[in-house]
Amino acid sequence: MKIIQVAPFEEPVPPKKYGGTELVVYNLAQELVAMGHEVFLVATGDSKTDAKLLPVFPKALRKYKAAADMKVRDSLKYIGIGKVLEIVKNINADIIHNHIGWRLMPFAPLLKPPIVTTLHGPMHTGYQKLVYGNFPDAPVVSISNSQRRPFKKLNYVGTVYNGIDVGKFAYSDKPGDYLAFLGRMSPEKGPLQAIRIAKKCGLKLVMAAKVDSVDKGYFEKEIAPLIDGKQIVFMGEVGHEGKVKLLKNARALLAPIQWEEPFGLFFIEAMACGTPVLAFRRGSVPEVIKNGVTGFAVKTDAEMITAVKMAGTIKRSACRQWVEENFSSAKMARGYEDIYRKVIAQKKIMNRIWN
């Protein structure tokens, strides 16, 4: 197949540090090329890929100083959409895989190939329901079954779990004696709760996280005063090597999430290193974590503290095996390959009906 992957503009593909969607797009494009498909990656010019790179902007939006202003950044995204349309209109592709969400959906009728959209974010907000509700027939893919709950009326053509290149995550069965926190310093990720739990357990907590401009006030007011550099250590945003080192040597990953996490790439990254995940039972957690086998899904702080004490009962080899069997980038690519064929077949049927 001739496949166009349209990536977000926020980060390069793959991201240098934080960037879950961009990493998923990278892994998918690499696997599809290895499977023999002709793949075009529409992304920022600083991306690296085995697919044919078609740049939208010379570099990722976060690298432009002006884009620190959220209004400027949002404006650049719409400029980017125009460039995407200009780029893809002359490619005789079999399918376009949209990873940038609803912004591209209104333009689907202008493009000849069918478009399938992966929903990389949560679907519970009012504006999401309003926007996606205007495209009830557009084929979409969920990244977990739980992601569908707030908005079940969309045209879901399948669920494909995110996947990673497991071989890039070093496994260790001899962890250190600290807890890890990874992700964003935002309220929904639960950094404040993670600090409180670590203190109650009397354990060191090492935190590696991105501080977005929108979360800077929260971080400075709520989190920074609790970082002492001894028991609570903040590493800032880390690259792949730093992330793997943090995870593989941790007793467990703390994920006291405060929202309906649609997937949680950091869950499978930790388990790939052999590190159990201790998370609140919200969103995709029951699907991604095998309770009692690769970690614990809990409901309260008290249960989380108990889970920390029981983390040593989890076989780290079971964590690794769980990811290898269920969340590899190869399995993800095969899932999308099936969906591409399904969407292409549906488009051909509709074309015959209307013509």
Identify how many contiguous H helices and E strands the chain contains and give both numbers.
11, 13
In the structure, what pLDDT confidence band is assigned to residue 348 with cuts at 50, 70 and 90?
Answer: low
pLDDT digits (tens, 9 = 90+) for 26-75: 999 999 999 999 999 999 999 999 999 999 999 998 888 887 788 888 89
Confidence at residue 19, expressed as pLDDT on a 0 to 100 scale: 77
CA neighbor of 275 nearest in space, from 318, 339, 330:
318
Regarding pTM above 0.85, the answer is yes
Whether residue 347 has pLDDT greater than 90: no
Look at residue 205 and tell me whether its pLDDT is greater than 90.
yes
Please determine, for residue 142, whether its predicted confidence score (pLDDT) is greater than 90: yes
Give the pLDDT band of residue 77 (cuts 50, 70, 90): very high
- Unique residue bearing structure tokens 């890890």: 180
Query: CA triplet 266, 216, 8: central angle to 5 degrees?
Result: 50
Residue pointed to by tokens 């590190």: 275
The string of pLDDT tens digits covering residues 300-327 is 999 999 999 999 999 999 999 999 999 9
For 98, 143, 163, the CA distances from 117, given in Å and listed in that order, are 5, 11, 17
Helix (H, G, I), strand (E, B) or coil at 183: strand
Alpha helices by DSSP H, 165-264: 191-201, 216-218, 240-248
| Rounded Cα distance, 100 and 87, in Å | 15
- Structure confidence at residue 316 (pLDDT): 98
Going by pLDDT thresholds of 50, 70 and 90, the confidence category of residue 127 is confident
Phi, psi values for residue 132, rounded to 5°: -65, -25
